[in-house]
A and B are shown apart, each in its own frame.
Chain A
C-alpha cells in the first residue's frame, strides 16, 4: 500500500465537555460526557445498540444539537455556530467515513472523491487532480473513471476514505466503517484509516461494534449513560 503523505491539520484536537443528550421520548442517552482526542490520536467508541454512539458522532459533526455541553473541533466551539457555520466547518475541517459507503452511483470515483473540494471554491480541474492523487494513495489509482457498481465493498470504503481525507480535515469521523465488509477487506480499510489519522496528525473517532476494529485505536472507550468509560479486555 502506498504511504499516505501527511497533510497539516493545525489545531487538530477534539474537545468535548459536559455533553448531554436525550431522545424525543425523554430517555437520556448520556449526560456529562467528556472526551479529548489529541492530534494524530485515534479513539474507538463502543457501546450497545441504541446507546447513542451514532448520535454522539452527529453531535461532534454538528449534525445534531446537544441538550447541553460543549463540542470544540480544531479550536472552534460548535455551540457558537449557526447552521451555515456548522456546514462550513464540516466542509473545511471534518472528514466522514460511513458504514454504507455512500458513493454516488452516477459520479465517477474520481468525482466522488473530489466532492468535498468541488462543493467549495476549488476549481474542478484542481479538485480532480487531487482526487487522482488520493485514489493513488488508497491503492485505486487506475480506477478513477470507474463507477461504484464496478467496485467491491472494500474498494468502495477505500474510496470513501479517500473522500474523507482529500480536504485535509482536522477531525476524521467513522461510523461502523467495516460493518458491511468481509474480515480481509475490513482489516485493510482499518489499517488505511488508522494510518491516515496518525500520519496526518488529525484527531480520529471510530464508532464500532467490532472489538477487532477497535483494536487498531490508541484508546477504546465504552459509551454509557453516564459518559465514556475505558473499555476492559
Chain B
C-alpha cells in the first residue's frame, strides 16, 4: 500500500466509492496517452527492426565497407589497392543490382566473388544443391543464380529452374543453382558471380561496394584513416553503425514527430487529471481542513491526493499498455510499418514487444497522473483549515485580479526556446517551446476567463439564468480555469496540428501546380537501367510529342550515416522548367560547375546560393550553388545539375524519366500508350506514364495517407478534452447542490437552474475554445517555422482552416453546454431541503 495511515486509505477508498466516474475519466485520459505512445513506439520499433534486418542481410556482416557514393559505382581497380592496404585481412568486391523477376517481383541481387565472400561475408554465400535435375554441376557458371527462400517463393522458382532476371535495363536467363541458407526466411535476396554480373548487366569495370575483413588485433581507427586516403571522390567508408544510423535517419524525424504527438495526448491527459483533481480538492477542501484540524500533517494531504492520482495512473497505464499493444498490431496491418509515412515499403513487419518501452511508457503514464495531481495536492494542503472549515465556496476573492506574471514568464521562455536551433538534428527546443506555450496558456486561463467574461458581467442581459452564470464564472475564475485546462490544451493542440497540416497541404498543392508544367510524364522503375541514347531518340520521334525533356536521378551518398540525396541531371537553364526558386539565382564563377540545391538539401548541407559545396561526384571539380529550389518530394534532399555537366563527369548517357509537351491536338492517353510501346523491350512493364492531374492526385493521396495518423491523434485529443468538460462540469454541478437548494428555496425553478448551468457550460466551452484556438495559432507557428524546418527541412507559409476552427468552437460550446445541463439535471435530483441542510 502506498499510504500507511489508515485515515488516508479510508479517505481514498471513500472518494473512489463516491466518485468512480472521476477516477475513471482520469484513468481513461492516461490510458489513451499511454496507448498511443506505446503503439506508435512499437510500430516504429518493429518497422525499424525489420528494415534493419533487411539492410544487414544485403550487406552481409563485413567489418567495414567501401561504398560507391552513387549508383554509377566505382572503378574496380580500387579493389586491388584496398585489398593490399595495411590492416585489411581480406576484401570482397560486390555488385548490387535492383533486379526484377519475369513475374514482376523485385529481388535485390548481389554479384560476389564467392571465394572472397566466403571469408568476408559468409552469410551471403550460396549453397549448391546436389542431385539429379538440380543442374548443380557448376556453381561458378555464368548463369548460376542462388536465391533465398523468400526469393524462391516470390519468383515461384525451384532449384534447377531457369528464370529471367531484368536489371540495369537488361534481361538475362539464369539457372537457380542453389539457395542462401544463412539469409532470414522473410528476406528476398539473389547472388550471382561478380564477373557474370558485370558482363551480363552492363557493369564492366565497375563495382558498387567492397566488403572488408580487418586483421585481428589491428587498430580500426588507423585502418579507416589509411583507407580514407585511398578513396576517390565517388567512394565512401561505412560500417555497421553508419548503416544503422542511415536507416534510423531515414524516418527519424517522422518517428520523433509521431512520438511527440502521442506524448501530447499524454500531456492532455495530464491536464485532465489536473482538472479533475483540482475540482475534487476544491470539493473536499472542508474535509481536508477537518483532517488538518484533527492533526493530519500537510504532507498527509499531499500524499492523499498524489496517491489518488498515482492509482488512476496505475490503472490507466496498465490499460494503456494493453490497449497500445492491440492498437500497434492493428495499425501495422492497416497502415504498415511507417504508419502511412511511406518510408519503408513491402509487407507489414511482425510486431515486436519492447519491454523497455513498455516500462518507459508505464513510467510516463504514472508521471503524467502524479504530475497532474501535484498542484491540486499542494492547493489542498495549503488551504488554511480555520478558513476552509467556515467557507464552502471559492476561496478566491472575486474582486482580486488573477495573476499574469507566471504565464508571461512561461510565454517568454517558450518564445526563447522556439528561437533555439535543432539539437541532434531534432527540434527538441521546438517541442519544449510548445510545452511552455501550452503551460503559459493554461496558467493564463483565470485572467483570460476574467477578461472575456467581464464585458458580459458589466452589462447584464436581463436573462436571470444567463446573468447568474456569468457572475458565477467570473467570481470563481479558479474553478473555471480548472474546468477549462483540459479543453484549452486539447483544442490548442488540435488547432495547431490542423493549421500545420492545412498549411503543409496547401503548400504541397501549390508546389505541385508549379512543377507539373508538362502534359505527360514518363518514368522507369528504379534500377531498371533507364533509356539509352537510342531509346531517347525513338521516344522523341513518337507521334504527338512536340518536345521531350529527359532527366536522370541517381542516389548520392554524401555521408555514410545519412540517407542518400538524389542527384538529378536535367536541363536547368535558362527555363528552369518545373523548378521554383526560393530567393535569387547566382551567377557561377567561370570553371565551377553550377548545382541547384533543393530546400532540404540546402538546410542539411548548410549551404545557400553562391556557396561552394563538396560532392562525392566527378573528379574533384568545384561545385557552386546557383540557386535553392522548393521541393516537398524528397525530404533527404536533392541536387539538380545540368545534363551536359553530368554526362561529362560520369559518362552516363542513360535517362530514367522524361517530361513531355504534346503537339497541338495530340491526345495524352494515346501518346502515353505510344511512348510505352516505343520503350526498349527490357523496360517493358517497368515504364509508367502519367498525366499531371493523376500525379497531383496521387501525391496528395500519399500526403493524406502519411498524415492519417495525425488526424487520429487530433480526434483523440478532442475526445479527451470533451471528457474533461464532462467530468469537470459534472463535478462542479454536484459540488453545488447546496447552492441549487438555496436557489430553489428562493423561488428559482429547476428549469432556470438547468438553463443557468447550460449557459455556464456554453460560456466555458466558448471561452475555452476561443482561448484554445488563439493558443493553437501560436503553437502552429512553432510547428510551421521551427518543428517542420528542423525535422523535415522544408518551409511553408501559414494557411488557416477557418471552417474547421469555427466548427471546433461551435461544437465544443454546444457539447460543453449540453454536458453541463445533463450534469445539472443529476445534481437537481437531490431534494432541495436536504441540500440546504446538508453540510456537504
Contact = CB atoms under 8 A, between A and B. Distances in A.
A143 to B, nearest CB: 17
Contacts of B840: 104-105, 148
A123 B5 CA distance: 8
B7 interface: yes
A64 B386 contact: yes
B807 interface: no
Contacts of B290: 102, 104
B157 interface: no
A90 B17 contact: no
B207 to A, nearest CB: 78
Contacts of B389: 98, 100, 102
Interface in A127-172: 127, 148-149, 163
Given A106-B17, A111-B10, A96 B293 contact: yes
Interface in A74-109: 83-84, 87-92, 96, 98, 100-107
Interface in B826-840: 838-840
Given A103-B839, A105-B840, A119-B5, A61 B293 contact: yes
Nearest to A149: B838
A120 interface: yes
A119 B295 contact: yes
Contacts of A114: 6
Interface string B176-208: 000000000000000000000000000000000
A87 B6 contact: no
Given A102-B839, A106-B18, A120-B5, A87 B297 contact: yes
A104 B14 contact: yes
Given A100-B839, A102-B389, A102-B839, A107 B294 contact: no
Contacts of B340: none
B14 A116 contact: no
B14 A58 contact: no
A118 interface: yes
B6 A91 contact: no
B757 to A, nearest CB: 22
Nearest to B287: A104
A106 B15 contact: yes
Contacts, number: 84
A65 B4 CA distance: 31
A118 B839 contact: no
A119 B386 CA distance: 19
Interface in A188-223: none
Given A106-B18, A118-B5, A90 B294 contact: yes
A115 B386 CA distance: 18
Dominant SS at the B interface?
A: helix
Interface in B1-50: 5-7, 9-11, 14-15, 17-18
A58 B294 contact: no
A101 B840 CA distance: 11
Contact of A63 (B7, B293, B298, B839): B293
B295 A120 contact: yes
Given A63-B386, A124-B6, A115 B291 contact: yes
A92 B6 CA distance: 16
Contacts of A107: 10-11, 14
A166 to B, nearest CB: 10
B300 interface: yes
B386 A90 contact: no
B385 to A, nearest CB: 6
Interface string A26-70: 000000000000000000000000000010001001011000000
Which interface residue of B286, B384, B839 has the most chain A CB atoms within 10 A? B839
A84 B299 CA distance: 10
A153 B840 CA distance: 14
Contacts of A64: 386
Given A102-B389, A103-B839, A119 B296 contact: yes
A102 B285 CA distance: 12
B297 A84 contact: yes
A101 B17 contact: no
Contacts of B839: 100-103, 105, 148
Given A104-B14, A106-B15, A119 B287 contact: no
Interface residues of A, number: 37
Nearest to A101: B839
Contacts of A148: 839-840
A149 B837 CA distance: 11
Nearest to A175: B389
User: Is chain A's binding surface mostly helix, strand, loop or mixed?
Assistant: helix
A118 B8 CA distance: 8
A21 B15 CA distance: 38
A90 B300 CA distance: 15
Nearest to B834: A149
Contacts of A163: 294
A127 B839 CA distance: 25
Contacts of B15: 106
B625 to A, nearest CB: 68
Given A101-B839, A105-B840, A107-B14, A91 B296 contact: yes
Interface in B218-244: none
A95 to B, nearest CB: 9
B294 A115 contact: yes
Given A63-B386, A64-B386, A123 B292 contact: no
B136 to A, nearest CB: 81
A119 B14 contact: no
A90 B295 contact: yes
Contacts of A111: 10
Nearest to A104: B287
B10 A90 contact: no
Contact of B386 (A58, A92, A116): A58
A116 B294 contact: yes
Given A84-B297, A90-B294, A91-B295, A119 B7 contact: yes
A152 to B, nearest CB: 10
Contacts of B14: 104, 106-107
B295 A87 contact: yes
A123 B296 CA distance: 15
A107 B385 CA distance: 20
B378 to A, nearest CB: 15
A103 B291 CA distance: 11
B295 A88 contact: yes
A94 to B, nearest CB: 8
A115 B7 contact: yes
Contacts of B9: 124
A116 B10 contact: no
A104 B839 CA distance: 9
A46 to B, nearest CB: 19
A35 B834 CA distance: 40
B732 to A, nearest CB: 18
B294 A127 contact: no
Nearest to B290: A102
Nearest to A94: B295
Contacts of A149: 838
28 contacts: A63-B385, A87-B292, A87-B295, A87-B296, A87-B297, A91-B296, A92-B295, A102-B287, A104-B840, A106-B14, A106-B15, A106-B17, A107-B10, A107-B11, A107-B14, A111-B10, A114-B6, A118-B5, A118-B10, A119-B7, A119-B294, A119-B296, A119-B300, A122-B6, A123-B6, A124-B6, A127-B6, A148-B840
Given A115-B7, A124-B6, 8 more contacts: A90-B293, A101-B839, A106-B18, A115-B291, A115-B294, A116-B295, A119-B295, A120-B5
Interface of A: 54, 58, 61, 63-64, 83-84, 87-92, 96, 98, 100-107, 111, 114-116, 118-120, 122-124, 127, 148-149, 163
Chain A to chain B: the 10 pairs with minimum beta-carbon distance, closest first:
A91-B295, A106-B14, A124-B6, A118-B7, A118-B6, A63-B386, A90-B295, A119-B7, A58-B386, A106-B18
